[in-house]
Structures are given as C-alpha cells and as structure tokens.
A and B are shown apart, each in its own frame.
Chain A
Amino acid sequence: MMRKRTKFGRNALNVFAGLGLVYLFAPIFFIVAFSFNKPNGNFNIAWQSFTFDNWLHPFAEESLTRALWKSMEIAAVSTLISTILGSLIAVALSRYTFKGSGGINLFLVLPLTTPEIVLGSSLATLFLGQNFIDFGMTTIIIAHVMFQVSFVALTVRARIRGFDWTLEQAAQDLGASPLRTFMKVTFPLILPGILAAGLLAFALSIDDFIITFFNSGPVQTFPLQIYGASRVRIPPQINVLASIILFLSVAILMTGTIAGMRKSAEGQVAARKFKLLQRK
C-alpha cells in the first residue's frame, strides 16, 4: 500500500515536470510554427496557410535586419569591454586577499539587485543635459557594459574559484617572466571561464530592452524595433529571425554540453583507472 502511493507520487511529480516543460515550450512552438505562416494583412497572429516564403527571404524586412545587425554590433563591442573589465575584477578577487574585498563583492551584486527600469532611467538622467555624448550607439554601449560587468565578474570568479595559483609560482621558479607566465599558464587556464562569461554577456546585450529603451536616442536595436513595430505590424520575418537565433544558440549550447559530457565521461574513466591502480 505504502509503496504504491509513493510510486503514484513519483509518477505524478514526473508528469508535473513534463507539463512544466510543455508550458516552457508553448510560446516557442508558436513562434517557430508561425514563421511558416502566410499572414493575411499586417499582423502575423492568425494561422492562414503554410509557406516557405518567409524562410527563403529572412532579411526581407529591411528595418528589422538593420536593427539586428546594430544589436550584434553593440553586443560585440560591449561584450569585449565588459569581459575585459569583469575578468580583471574576478582575477583580483580570487587571486589576492586584500582589504575591502568583502565590500567589492557586495558592490558587484548591487547592479543585479536594482530593477532594470531604475538602472535605465538613472543612467538617462546622467546623460541628459550634458554636451559630451549624444544619445545613440555610445550611450547604449556604456549602458550594456554597466550591467554586463557584474555578470562577467561573478561568472568568471565562480569558474576560477578552485584555480591553483601556485602554478604561477611554479612557472616563475622555472624562470618564466611574469608576462610569459600569464600568457602560457594563467590565461589558458582561466580562458574557459572568460569565454562562458562573454557568451552570457553577449546574450544579455542582444536581448536587453528596458535599459536600452531609456538610452537609445534615435538608434533602433532589434528588441526596440520589434517593440516599435508591434503596434503597426508584426511581419513573419520576426518569427524567422527569432527562430534562427534560437537554433544557433541551441547549436552552441549542444556543442558545449556534448563536449562537457565527453569530458566528464573521460574523467570518470580516468578516475576508475586510478582506483584500479590504487587497489593494486
């Protein structure tokens, strides 16, 4: 009796989790399906008929394509800057023990615990009524770097937490100069963490809407373009481009996951061999 009930509970939980996944994918299914729709009128919101037209002409909506490239450009520049600044902070925090590191840790979390609308509007008040920078590309990039830095610093710090810094001393004992030590030992070892953080920062920049909305001036990024157009027209190209971005990210994620699985499998094999050796 007891066993039966737990089994029922077990299955119920699995079914619930399955439903949860369905819920998560509902709008995604909708977005991809409607990229094959031939809309009647300006709004691609009611199913009419199946067509490949949109996929054959993904860049037919010129303003949308231009906005997407603009977003890529902004994301590339801001990611480059924020990855450098954030990684330096992460290295400082995990490599050295110094006065005030607790305060720095707390300070890094602050931008993450401030609502985006406050970050966006306050940055806009900084840019208002000064004559050095006009609202546009520069202000968007500054805004993106501002919120990316904390993410990068925290991600890189988490990834290099267990890093063995005595390797640096070993290299220097063997006669390597500090620069050579960094290039040949430190940098290759912390690079995976930096790359992961950079990917995250890029994704955050491409998708940011609220902060960008306040600091964009005349520049249209991909989310801003969709927002502006959504009241007038929703062309199926939005769905096509969204699907392309989705599939690309899935591909990147999958290569990462598979590589990770292979690595952990290798690790397990190595551990098993090691144990066998120990037993001998």
Chain B
Amino acid sequence: MTETVVRRNRIVRNADRVGMAAMIIASICLVALGSRWVSGPLVAVVVLILLLVLGGVLGLAFTGGPEARRLLAPYGLLKPGMLWLALFFLAPVWSLLRISLSTKESRFSVKYDFNWAFQNYATAFQDFGKQFEHAFVYAAIATVLTILIGYPLAYVIAFRGGKYKNILLGLVVIPFFTSYLIRTIAWSTILADRGFVVRAMNAVGLADVFEWLNIMDNGKLLNTPAAVIGGLTYNFLPFMLLPIYVSLEKIDVNLVNAAGDLYSSATRAFRKVVFPLSIPGVFAGTLLTFIPAAGDFVNAQFLGNPNTTMIGNSIQDQFLKQNNYPVASAMAAVLMVSIATLVLLYTRIFGTEDLA
C-alpha cells in the first residue's frame, strides 16, 4: 500500500519528465507512421504506443492533482503544435530522404523501393551541378546587394526618421503587400527589351557601360543573370532591411553622442559603435535572405533564360513535370543539407545569441 503511494508520488513529482517523454515518443511515432518507415502489422503496434502514451499523460493529468497538472501544463500546451510539426515537417523530411535513396519501378509508377540507391545523388550532382552553382552564387550576390541597399535605408529610418519613423517603415513594407508573382512579372515587363528602361539606357549611353559590366547582354536587360539577381535582391530586401532596422533601433543614441564627445569622427563612431551593435541584425537578415533566395525558382523563371536556371527550377521540373521523385528528392536533400551546413558554419563564425 505505502509502496504504491510512494511510487505514485514519485511519478507526480517527475510529471514534467513524463510530459516531455510522452511528447518525444508521440513525435517519433508520428514520424514513423507518416513517412511509412514502418509497414504491415508494425503500424498497429506504433498506433497503439501512440494512443497509450497520449492516454497515459491525460490520465496522469486527471488523477495526479494540481502539482502534476502544473508540471504537465507546458507540455500540454506545446503538444498540438509540436505533433503537427512532427507529422507535417519532420516526417516529410524523413520521407524525402528515404525517397532520395529509392528507385522507381517504372517511369510512370508512383511506387518506389527503398534500396540505398545512391546513384540518385550521383545524377543530381552530374546533371544539375550548374544549377546548384547558379543557386548559391546568385543568392550570395543578391544577399550582398540587399545589405548594400537595405543597411543605409534602415539607418536613415532608424536615426533620422524622427516622428515619421513608423510611416517610413510602413512605406518600405507596403510594396510587399502585393503578390510575389505579380511583383516579379511587373519587373519582367519593366526590364523588357523594348521597354522604357532599356530605351532610356540606350538614350543616355548607359547601355554600353552596362554591357561592359556584363549586366546587359546584347542590348537585353531581361533574361540575363543580372535580371535574376536583381529580382532576388528586390523580392528579399525586406527580410534584410527589417532585422537591421530592429537592431539599429535598439541602439542607445547616447552611445553615439558619447563617441562624439570623446572626439571620435562620425565615420569612426559608426565603425566602432553603431556597426558592431547592428551585426545581429545583419546576421539574421543574411540568413533570412540567403536561404529563400537559394531555393527560389520564380525569379529565374520570369527574369532569366534557360542558361540561368537555379536548382529550384530543376527540383520543380523533375518533381512535378518529369515525376522523377527520387532524383528531385536527392536534389532537395542536397540543397537542404548544404544550406544547413552553411548556416551552422556561419553561426559558428558570426553567431549571436538571439536569432529571431
């Protein structure tokens, strides 16, 4: 009798551990079920474990009293969202990795066998190396450009906006309330061969300079790598500008004034005080710009030509048009892993505490 009471008390005291364990086990069950990692009678076993775990936690919450409920509460609040992410974010990634190592029975079948088919990765690198290169090079250039354009703009708004700060910030965000696709199509019309911009450039003789800089190609502005990079820069600018603005806004103006009082020039004050304090913003902005830009295919499709396709175009084409799921999955897996590696390296080198 006392022994059971003691054991019960111990469970109640460690209810938080029980809650966390239940969440992790339930997540693993959902990943296994969702990605069809288990099959046949094992499915029933996994479903049973899932139900038992969730039922057990509920039972503990009802019978354990206020102490157990308090310890279980955070996990209870987390569980719906976390299990959703387990089933629809983790399980898909797992299933993507599995399909990238599978072979299809035939070109038109939707069935595939998991057999460690590493040749999918060989195909991905051999046939689509150029597209990987485009994706990373274009995204990197676009990221640098967003810093060059976004930083001064954020600086002016944060330090010289005065009472118009919010309005200026609003103005910066407004263009992005129109649809992403419509914006990109609008750029393709603006840069069109017989459009206003190209004609104006020819009129003032800028065309030759641009031609020399390799931005224009035989009098064309549209369907060049420069147009794709320009589109990426435009579409992802707010992701750079807003984090930089947030970090600049937090800076205490007295620090800049103090630097001035100590006879620092304005440039030196910027270099030694303002810029170091804004690095977290640049860091977050770089991630938020580079990652979506590297996976994008809309800009390359509307503003580029067949020689400027990025890896996103190839994944989309192989997946949705060729139904070549294994190779498309291999490409997506390579993109995911290489971006994760870059992010980790980048965080190690420039990392700051607050990411979000």
Contact = CB atoms under 8 A, between A and B. Distances in A.
A271 interface: no
Nearest to A28: B175
Contacts of B185: 226, 230, 234
B324 to A, nearest CB: 12
A30 B184 CA distance: 11
Contact of B172 (A24, A85, A89, A126): A24
Nearest to B237: A24
Interface in B281-308: 287-288, 291-292, 294-298, 302
A143 B315 contact: no
Interface in A84-114: 84-86, 88-89, 91-93, 95-96, 98-101, 104, 107, 109-114
A17 B154 CA distance: 8
Contact of A130 (B36, B149, B155, B166): B36
A245 B177 contact: yes
Contact of B84 (A101, A110, A149, A209): A149
A73 interface: no
A192 interface: no
Interface stretch (A50-58, A115-123, A183-191, A272-280): A115-123
Given A14-B156, A253-B174, A30 B186 contact: yes
Given A128-B110, A246-B178, A261 B166 contact: yes
Contacts of A25: 174-175
A20 B152 contact: yes
Contact of A23 (B111, B149, B180, B298): B149
B244 interface: no
A30 B35 CA distance: 46
A222 B179 CA distance: 9
B207 interface: no
Query: Which 5 pairs across A and B sit closest by C-beta, in order of nearness?
Result: A115-B295, A92-B77, A85-B81, A27-B186, A122-B92
Interface stretch (B50-58, B122-130, B211-219, B329-337): B329-337
A30 B190 contact: yes
A123 B288 CA distance: 21
Given A118-B295, A122-B332, A149-B84, A96 B73 contact: yes
B356 A27 contact: no
Given A9-B266, A114-B291, A223-B181, 5 more contacts: A17-B157, A20-B150, A109-B355, A149-B81, A230-B185
Interface of A: 6, 9, 13-14, 16-17, 20-21, 23-28, 30-31, 34, 45, 84-86, 88-89, 91-93, 95-96, 98-101, 104, 107, 109-119, 121-126, 128-130, 142-143, 145-146, 149-150, 153-154, 158, 203, 206-207, 209-210, 213-214, 222-223, 226-227, 230, 234, 238-239, 242-243, 245-246, 249-250, 253-254, 257, 260-261
A115 B339 contact: yes
A92 B78 contact: yes
B297 A210 contact: yes
Interface in B196-233: none
Given A21-B172, A24-B237, A92-B78, A13 B177 contact: no
Interface string B321-356: 000010011001101100110010000000000011
Contacts of A16: 152-153, 156
Interface in B145-178: 149-150, 152-153, 155-157, 160, 163, 166-167, 170-175, 177-178
B182 A88 contact: no
A31 B152 contact: no
A115 B291 contact: yes
Given A13-B155, A210-B297, A121 B332 contact: yes
19 contacts: A24-B171, A34-B189, A99-B17, A113-B340, A116-B295, A118-B96, A119-B92, A122-B96, A126-B34, A126-B91, A145-B88, A146-B85, A206-B179, A207-B180, A223-B180, A226-B179, A230-B181, A234-B185, A243-B178
B264 interface: no
Contacts of B234: 23-24, 27
Contact of A242 (B172, B179, B332): B179
Contact of A203 (B36, B166, B177, B237): B177
B119 interface: no
Contact of A27 (B167, B187, B340): B187
B95 A126 contact: yes
Interface of B: 16-17, 20, 34-36, 71, 73-75, 77-78, 80-82, 84-85, 88-89, 91-93, 95-96, 99, 110-112, 149-150, 152-153, 155-157, 160, 163, 166-167, 170-175, 177-183, 185-187, 189-190, 192, 234, 237, 266, 287-288, 291-292, 294-298, 302, 312, 315-316, 319-320, 325, 328-329, 332-333, 335-336, 339-340, 343, 355-356
A29 to B, nearest CB: 9
B183 A27 contact: yes
Given A31-B182, A45-B192, A122-B96, A129 B110 contact: yes
B78 A104 contact: yes
Contacts of A143: 88
A260 to B, nearest CB: 7
Given A126-B92, A145-B84, A227 B177 contact: no
A26 B84 CA distance: 40
B187 to A, nearest CB: 6
A82 B187 CA distance: 33
A152 to B, nearest CB: 9
Contacts of A93: 74, 78
B198 to A, nearest CB: 13
B96 A260 contact: no
A13 B320 CA distance: 46
